[in-house]
């Protein structure tokens, strides 16, 4: 459950920051860079504000629940790198920023940090898969609720 809380913190923070800051401090990570296919590397919604904010909040939450701050930084970083990887895949699929790609949107940001830290933390594949599945379900079921509350821009 603690790892799930860190995942939610890392991935929820960019959404909350966007809600309150709008376009302020929203510098795209890819700086508008396009690949040979003409598509953006990650897209305009992947920002340094969201990345750094997500990492810092993940570290703070990790520390508050008994992990080291460094563990939280690294776990949050890996989670958001997984999110960037999913954006890269979606751009190559010609999907616009913030579009839905079922599974691609939820799984990498949970699976990457959980897999990397499995040996260090002493949990196995079952825990990795259960936490990933729980994160996936919370994301799929919770996003429409957050949209109705005005927190998310899209219901997915």
Whether residue 15 is contained in a domain is answered as yes
The residue segments making up the domain with residue 31 are 2-148
Q: What is the DSSP letter of 22?
A: T
Q: How many residues does the chain have?
A: 156
- Indicate whether 27 belongs to any domain: yes
What value does the mean pLDDT take over residues 17-46?
91
The answer to whether residue 70 sits within a structural domain is yes
Listing DSSP states for 57-125 in one string gives HHHHHHHHTTS-HHHHHHHHHHHHHHHHHHHHHHHHTTPPTT---TTTTTHHHHHHHHHHHHHHHT--H
- Of 101 and 5, the one with more pLDDT: 5
Predicted model pTM: 0.90
In a domain, 156, yes or no: no
CA distances to 5, 48, 59 from 62, in Å? 8, 21, 5
Confidence of residue 51 (pLDDT cuts 50, 70, 90): very high
Supply the pLDDT for residue 85.
95
Per-residue pLDDT for 127 more than 90? yes
3-state secondary structure of 36: coil
Selected residue with higher pLDDT from 105 and 127: 127
The verdict on residue 53 lying in a domain is yes
> Considering its fold, how many domains does the chain have in total?
1
Position 155 in a domain: no
- The answer to the question of residue 59 being in a domain is yes
**Confidence bin at 22 (pLDDT 50/70/90):** confident
Segment 50-66 shows an average pLDDT of 98
Average pLDDT, rounded, for the chain: 92
Q: Look at residue 69 and tell me whether its pLDDT is greater than 80.
A: yes
Looking at residue 79, what is its pLDDT? 98
Average pLDDT of 116-136? Answer: 94
- Confidence band, pLDDT 50/70/90 cuts, at residue 31: very high
Q: What pLDDT digit, counting tens, does each position of 89-120 carry?
A: 988 888 877 777 777 888 999 999 999 999 88
């Amino acid at each position: 459950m603690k790892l799930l809380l860190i995942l939610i913190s890392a991935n929820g923070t960019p959404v909350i920051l966007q809600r309150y800051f709008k376009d302020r401090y929203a510098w795209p990570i890819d700086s508008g860079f396009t690949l040979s296919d003409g598509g953006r590397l990650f897209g305009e919604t992947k920002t340094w504000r969201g990345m750094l904010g997500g990492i810092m909040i993940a570290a703070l939450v990790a520390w508050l629940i008994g992990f080291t701050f460094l563990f939280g930084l690294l776990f949050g970083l890996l989670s958001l790198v997984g999110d960037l990887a999913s954006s890269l895949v979606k751009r190559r699929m010609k999907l616009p920023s913030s579009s839905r790609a079922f599974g691609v949107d939820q799984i990498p940001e949970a699976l990457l940090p959980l897999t990397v830290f499995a040996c260090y933390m002493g949990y196995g594949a079952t825990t990795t898969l259960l936490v990933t599945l729980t994160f996936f379900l919370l994301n799929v079921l919770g996003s429409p609720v957050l949209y109705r509350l005005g927190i998310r821009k899209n219901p997915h």
